[in-house]
Amino acid sequence: MNIVVCIKQVPDTTEVRIDAETNTLMREGVPSIINPYDMHAIEAGLQIRERTGGKVIVLTMGPPQAEAALRNALSMGADDAVLLTDSAFAGSDTWATAYALSKAVRKIGADIILCGKQAIDGDTAQVGPEMGEFLDIPHISYVRKIEEVHSGGIRVQRLMDDGYDIVESSLPVLLTVVKELNQPRLPSLKGKIAAKKAEIKKWGHSDIGAEPANIGLKGSPTLVKQIFAPEAKKDRKLLYGTVEEQVDALVQELRGLGCV
């Protein structure tokens, strides 16, 4: 079974704060990490391989530095890694990204494609399902448990607002996964050594047969027009005095609201 895991290298947004005076991000020295949801996708790929046999191939699109993310995934136990890197891809929105990744997946060949639910920098959750459409295969979002997997199909639990759905699908299929699915493993020493030596395939747009009109800024239907800081709340009331006095004042306010 060929399992392709799509990952993204992202800045660790949990370490980011906004400078209220200049309205800009304070993110000096913010480390680059594998998108946390993608870590669960990698783990899921490795566990499926343990059950069914086959190969786990990690795939990412990004600048040459994204190679570090792929080596991390290799150290966890992935068999192979592909980096889509080409200045022609730069500025891709979700549509153009999904298009390019799909072209690469077609070239690799896959029975199961795994993606994290969303990336923590863009938070769109769109690339996975869009790839499903481009590849003309079904997809299942928010997978929290893989109940069964074999060459004939897969049965998973899909997290919903009020519980979960049990969903079956034929293969090939694309899954986007949530955190509850598993606990990503740490790299082994052997894995780290192997990852260092591993050769990473680097493909440009012509290697995957991507139409130049469909990739990068040119191939992106959406564009970022403006970036600004979220608005602060206006109707603030101050409480004064000792903690006890402040609590008293707060209780009075809560009474006014009808909560006490």
Partner 1 sequence: MRIVVDAEKCTGCEACIESCPYTAIEMREGKAFINEYCQFCRACMSICPEGVIKEVLEVADTQASVSDIEGHRGIWVFAEQRNGKVAPVAYELLGAGRRLADERRTELCAVLFGGAKPEAEGLIHWGADRVYFSNARIFGIFNDEPYSQLLFLLIQEHRPEIVLAGATPIGRSFFPRVAARLGTGLTADCTALEIDMETGNLRQIRPAFGGNIMAAILCPHKRPQMATVRPRVMKRGVFDEEKKGEIIHVDAEGLLSRTKLVETVKEVSGMTVNIQDAEVIVSGGRGLGDPKGFNLLEELAGLLGGTVGASRGAVDAGWISYRHQVGQTGRTVCPKVYVACGISGAVQHIVGMQSSEVIIAINKNPEAPIFDVATYGIVGDVYEVVPLLIRKIKEIRGQQ
In this structure, the number of other CB atoms found within 10 A of the CB of residue 258 comes to 6
Judged by beta carbon, residue 57 or residue 88, the one nearer partner 1 is 88
Here the tokens at position 132 are 């499903």
Rounded to a whole number of angstroms, the minimum distance from the CB of residue 104 to partner 1 is 16
Dihedrals phi, psi of 67, to nearest 5 degrees? -55, -35
**Binds partner 1 (CB under 8 A): choice among 47, 54, 55, 91:** 91
Q: Measure CA 196 to chain center.
A: 24
Residues from 196 through 255 that contact partner 1 (CB under 8 A): 216, 220-230, 232-233, 235-239, 243-244, 246-248, 250-251, 253-255
d(CA 110, CA 120): 25
**Binds partner 1 (CB under 8 A): choice among 107, 145, 179, 192:** 179
Judged by beta carbon, residue 114 or residue 191, the one nearer partner 1 is 114
Residues from 10 through 69 that contact partner 1 (CB under 8 A): 11, 13-14, 16-20, 22, 24-30, 32, 62-63, 65
Judged by beta carbon, residue 197 or residue 236, the one nearer partner 1 is 236
Q: Give which of 254, 250, 252 is closest to 238, Cα–Cα.
A: 250
**Binds partner 1 (CB under 8 A): choice among 79, 121, 198, 201:** 121
Q: Is 5 in a helix, a strand, or coil?
A: strand
Judged by beta carbon, residue 50 or residue 133, the one nearer partner 1 is 133
Bridge partners (DSSP) of residue 59 are: 6, 82
Cα pseudo-dihedral 198, 173, 212, 90, rounded to 10? -60
Tell whether residue 129 is a contact of partner 1 (CB under 8 A): yes
State the number of binding residues for partner 1 (CB under 8 A).
97
Rounded to a whole number of angstroms, the minimum distance from the CB of residue 126 to partner 1 is 4
Tell whether residue 145 is a contact of partner 1 (CB under 8 A): no
Tell whether residue 80 is a contact of partner 1 (CB under 8 A): no
Rounded to a whole number of angstroms, the minimum distance from the CB of residue 181 to partner 1 is 12
Tell whether residue 193 is a contact of partner 1 (CB under 8 A): no
Tell me the CA distances in angstroms from 169 to 3, 217, 244, 254, one per residue in order. 16, 34, 60, 52
Judged by beta carbon, residue 50 or residue 168, the one nearer partner 1 is 168
> Cβ distance 40 to 180 under 8 Å?
no
Rounded to a whole number of angstroms, the minimum distance from the CB of residue 194 to partner 1 is 25
Please name the residues in contact with 241: beta carbons below 8 A apart, sequence gap of 6 or more. Answer: 249
> Cβ distance 128 to 18 under 8 Å?
no
Q: Measure CA 104 to chain center.
A: 17
Tell whether residue 139 is a contact of partner 1 (CB under 8 A): yes
